[in-house]
Structure 1
């Protein structure tokens, strides 16, 4: 499979498949394709995987697109101004992603819900409570909000992140939610009550414009319903 990612603010990934190669996406993920691409809707696993995808923010069923009779082409566009990143998934190279980040992937990539093992992260992590885990093998494409900044953390090295800015991390990293120190900081700091502590070794990808922040900025300009 060959691919190219085009566009900056509103990107799209265009995949070129050899005959018989497959791409998997959730319903509504396909933007355009060549006429020799065959679509099949599948649960892609048992009832556990179906509900696991639902918990992680994805739809219960997925669409599998197969190139038939020669090279095929299929495109997947981002649904929000931001970035599309390609990741090579393999045993020992699993990825943890924010909810709904998965855009499309080769047939060997498996998607499941990832629950943070630390109780604090589960109770107070917001977007970090339930995330997506990509495992298996193959290329996967993820969409993130705004520009993406990548950091590589050494063993024990940490970075403090507002939870909404965490886009992805390698599964070798750990994540913990901690409260902001000081009552005055909590009440008047404007940065929220909790922060996410990411610890290496591994890579983390941080997004500059979480969609939740955008919604908060725009909400005062939306007309409220009159009673």
Structure 2
């Protein structure tokens, strides 16, 4: 691998953003829409896939295959590169799409590969390959929702992941088993034995308030877990929002709701 060696700094606590420092000709790749701001002298370009194959030896079919793999994970066909075209150090900033934490991972310290949730990737040094990691048991994985298709990041450079709530890093010993809600799993090292299992007991599955499936992780290896997946937060907000016949919502007892009642003659 030939990843660009970028420097970085994390800012904030619960709504973090990452500042990436680029030397001349250094490049960072990022998900479309993750840019917060950038200094003058940085060239921005939209590409198919992650650009890890380089311009030489990568034909149209190879680029389409890379973009197609990203479609399977629910991500955009395109990624964005940011290259320092100036003569001095320049900075570009990326922000998380929802409240949570940003994790910086040096892939060279993790055997050159990390497996993460399909929407966890934020940015990485150019040269890091962003692909898909299929579950072995496709049937169970398919019904497990988030657990079916995971992203894999390969290379020897820096990668930045984001997740919701608080991030907990747990080291599993050989043979140690951890069962995690599929939405709470953020990332894991490649040596973790990973599977999707159905919750045992019909009553537990239907009335326990949890999902029907969970991820079973067996050590040795390292696991990163998030306390508040965005899907869980969004479902709670949607469920708590008052619905009106017109499809909108208004808060009961609020000033806006009272004004609407007065204007409407109620």
RMSD of aligned C-alpha atoms?
1.7
Match status 1:150 vs 2:155: no
* Aligned residue number for residue 100 of structure 2: 82
* Aligned residue number for residue 179 of structure 2: 160
After TM superposition, list the pairs within 5 Å mapping 1:1-227 onto structure 2: 1-43=6-48, 44=51, 46-68=63-85, 69-90=87-108, 92-222=111-241, 223=243, 226=246
List gaps (5 residues or longer) in structure 1: none
Residues 9-67 of structure 1: CA distance to partner in whole angstroms, max 9, x if unpaired?
A: 11000011111111011222211111011112211252111011121232111111111
Give me the whole-angstrom Cα distance separating, in 2, the residues matched to 1:76 and 1:173.
29
Give me the whole-angstrom Cα distance separating, in 2, the residues matched to 1:225 and 1:79.
31
Give me the whole-angstrom Cα distance separating, in 2, the residues matched to 1:102 and 1:132.
8
SS at match of 2:183: helix
Give me the whole-angstrom Cα distance separating, in 1, the residues matched to 2:139 and 2:194.
10
Give me the whole-angstrom Cα distance separating, in 2, the residues matched to 1:85 and 1:167.
10
Tell whether the 8 Å contact from 1:23 to 1:107 is kept in structure 2 after alignment.
yes
* Aligned residue number for residue 59 of structure 2: none
Tell whether the 8 Å contact from 1:41 to 1:61 is kept in structure 2 after alignment.
yes
Give me the whole-angstrom Cα distance separating, in 1, the residues matched to 2:236 and 2:178.
26
Tell whether the 8 Å contact from 1:4 to 1:15 is kept in structure 2 after alignment.
yes
Q: Which one has the bigger strand percentage?
A: 1
Give me the whole-angstrom Cα distance separating, in 2, the residues matched to 1:23 and 1:225.
47
List gaps (5 residues or longer) in structure 2: 1-5, 52-61, 248-266
Larger Rg: 2
Tell whether the 8 Å contact from 1:161 to 1:197 is kept in structure 2 after alignment.
yes
Normalized against structure 2, the TM-score is what? 0.81
Give me the whole-angstrom Cα distance separating, in 2, the residues matched to 1:120 and 1:152.
29
Residues 72-130 of structure 1: CA distance to partner in whole angstroms, max 9, x if unpaired?
A: 10000111000000011238331111111111100011101221112354222211111
Give me the whole-angstrom Cα distance separating, in 2, the residues matched to 1:194 and 1:32.
39
Change (3 A) 1:130 1:72: same
Give me the whole-angstrom Cα distance separating, in 1, the residues matched to 2:66 and 2:115.
16
SS at match of 1:113: strand
